[in-house]
Structure 1
Amino acid sequence: MNKNLQIAVEASLKAGKVIMEVYDTSFNIEIKDDKSPLTEADKKANDVINSYLVNTAFPIISEENKQTDYSSRKNWTTCWVVDPVDGTKEFIKRNGEFTVNIALVTNGKPELGVIYVPATKTIYVANVTTKEAFKSQLNSHDASLEEVMSSSKKLQPKGPKSNPVQVVGSRSHMSQETLDFVETIKKEGKDVEVVSKGSSLKFCLVAEGNADVYPRFAPTMEWDTAAGQAICNAVGIDVISQKTNKSLLYNKENLLNPWFLVSKN
């Protein structure tokens, strides 16, 4: 396994461990700017991830880090893009659908990606360059790299002519535009099944063949999508900006993503 990918895998597992230490307590579910348990989970996970990535040659864009000004970032050829806890609302609801997202981006394009689901100990790993992507079901957050590899199963997207068309929708962020997209498919004479899922797991559903398309017509940030895009790109799934009609790019001046569509050409 690529050395940087190994580091990302190890960081995600250790972050997942500290997240679950908070998740399994009777934390206050109010969202506050002070040290509420949820904020503490974000911070602890971020600290763990930074402790691993800081030893690499690449700077870090993380939701929980102070953002570097674009005047400096624009000179970064390669950087990490991290969300220590993706799926805040899912964390509060205790439905398990939150993730650790770590991606390595080069020249604006995802190169490596890891998504870890701490509640189920499931990890998704991708190398876009070698077109390899797999998931592993682990027994422990302390699993070794050998255990990750030995339990790996290759990701395989669905074929192009499935019926009904499975459309991924957000549990917490379904927009009117997404509902309109579903109606457009129905007008083409196709049946539609909406598959609800939180956090970056929506990308994983498409990459592993449990959905056909993921329309995201609502705001996201780069750290929400970079790892998911890496996993999709590695298996031939495109993540297309509805603004440029090209792949989403990263380390932009504005870290807010445009609307996008995840599907196979």
Structure 2
Amino acid sequence: MNNLLKTAVEAAIKAGDVIMQVYNTPFDVEIKDDKSPLTEADKRANDIINSFLVPTDLPIISEENKQTDYDVRKTWETCWVVDPVDGTKEFIKRNGEFTVNIALVKAGKPVLGVIYVPAVHTLYYANVEADEAYKVVLNGHEFSLEYITENAKPLEPKEANSNPVQVVGSRSHMSQETLDFVDALKTEGNDVEIVSKGSSLKFCLVAEGQADVYPRFAPTMEWDTAAGQAICNAVGIEVISKETNQALLYNKENLLNPWFLVSK
């Protein structure tokens, strides 16, 4: 595991620890200007992650940091893209389906990705350039590189053309565009099963072979997707913009993503 990936893994696990400290106590919920919720867990996790990433001397795009003007950002060849708590709504519901997302982006493309699921001590991590992505269940929120490397299992996506086709989406609130996508699969003669999951775990479902495709026809931000895209890309899963028919790019002037499709 290279040093930057190791740093990101340790940062994610330590952030997960403080997130669960808040999760297991009463907490207040603020509403930000963009109408999204914010808790003490988001703030504390962001502080922990910054404490690990700032010493790398690479700039950081984080949901909870003040965003740097694009005139400065556009000069960044390499940067971190971070969501300290992805799935704050799931956190508030206390359903466990929230994650810590940390990605390293070079020239607009994710090259390292870490997703940590603190409620179940589960870590996903990937090095895209080495075509390696792994999953490991930890003993609590302790960082042990030896334990991780000894116990991590490679991610293996499903073979193409499976039936039924497992589509990642909401069981009860799918957009019309997603319903149209499902109908098109059925028209092609496929049986379709909907698989529901919160936060960046949707990417992990496809990367580890528990789903075939994740159509995201609703707004997301770069920090929601960068780590998941890295994990998918490392095992041959593409994350394709519906605007450009090319891979999603990062550190854009507008940090809002276009709609996209995750599949082989």
TM bucket by the smaller chain? over 0.9
Which residue is 2:228 aligned to? 228
Aligned to 1:73: 73
- Which residue of structure 1 aligns with residue 91 of structure 2? 91
RMSD, aligned α-carbons: 1.5
The runs of 5 or more residues in structure 2 that have no matched partner are none
Instruction: Confirm or deny: 8 A CA contact 1:22 1:38 kept in the other structure.
Output: no
Does the 8 A contact of 2:17 with 2:141 survive in 1? yes
Tell me by how many angstroms 1:5 deviates.
0.0
Q: Does 1:216 align with 2:216?
A: yes
Q: Any conservation in 2 of the 1:16–1:141 contact (CA below 8 Å)?
A: yes
Q: Provide runs of 4+ in structure 1 moved above 2 Å.
A: 30-34, 170-174
Alpha carbons of structure 1 residues 244 and 95: separation in structure 2 relative to 1, 3 Å: same
Give the Cα–Cα distance (whole angstroms) in 2 for the partners of residues 119 and 241 of structure 1: 31
Query: What SS does the corresponding residue of 1:16 show, helix, strand or coil?
Result: helix
Amino acid of the residue matched to residue 147 of structure 2? E
Secondary structure of the corresponding residue to residue 139 of structure 2:
coil
Kept after mapping to 2: 8 A contact 1:172/1:198: no
Q: Secondary structure at the match of 2:149?
A: helix
C-alpha offsets along residues 187-224 of structure 1, whole Å, 9 cap, x if unaligned?
Answer: 11110000000000000000000000000000000000
Cα 1:33/1:219, change in 2 over 3 Å: closer
Q: Which residue number in structure 1 is paired with residue 143 of structure 2?
A: 143
Distance 1:186 1:3 in 2: 46
CA offset at residue 254 of structure 1? Answer: 0.2
Separation in 1, partners of 2:172, 2:127: 29
Aligned amino acid, residue 163 of structure 2: N
Partner-residue secondary structure (3-state), 1:55: helix
Identity %: 75
Report the Cα distance in structure 2 between the residues aligned to 1:56 and 1:214, rounded to whole angstroms: 33
**Hey, what does 1:111 align to over in structure 2?**
111
TM-score normalised per structure 2: 0.96
Q: Distance in 2 between matches of 1:81 and 1:19?
A: 19
Query: Structure 1: how far apart are the matches of 2:245 and 2:123?
Result: 30
Looking at structure 2, the residues matched to 88 and 74 of structure 1 have their Cα atoms a distance apart, in angstroms, of 29
- Tell me the equivalent position of 2:190: 190
Higher mean Cα deviation, 144-153 or 243-252? 144-153
What number of residue pairs does the alignment pair up? 261
Q: Hey, what does 1:130 align to over in structure 2?
A: 130
* Change over 3 Å in CA distance of 1:66–1:171 after alignment to 2: farther
1:170 and 1:127 map into 2 onto residues whose CA distance is: 29
Change (3 A) 1:40 1:83: same
Deviation, 1:92, is: 1.0
What are the Cα deviations for residues 147-190 of structure 1, in whole angstroms up to 9, with x where unaligned? 11111000000001211000001479632211111111111111
The whole-number CA distance in structure 1 between the counterparts of 2:205 and 2:129 is 21
Decide whether the 8 Å contact of 2:27 with 2:40 is kept in 1. no
Q: Which deviates more from structure 2 when the two are superposed, residues 181-190 or residues 224-233?
A: 181-190
Aligned counterparts, 1:222-261, within 5 A:
222-261=222-261
SS in 2 for 1:54: helix
Counterpart AA for 2:167: V
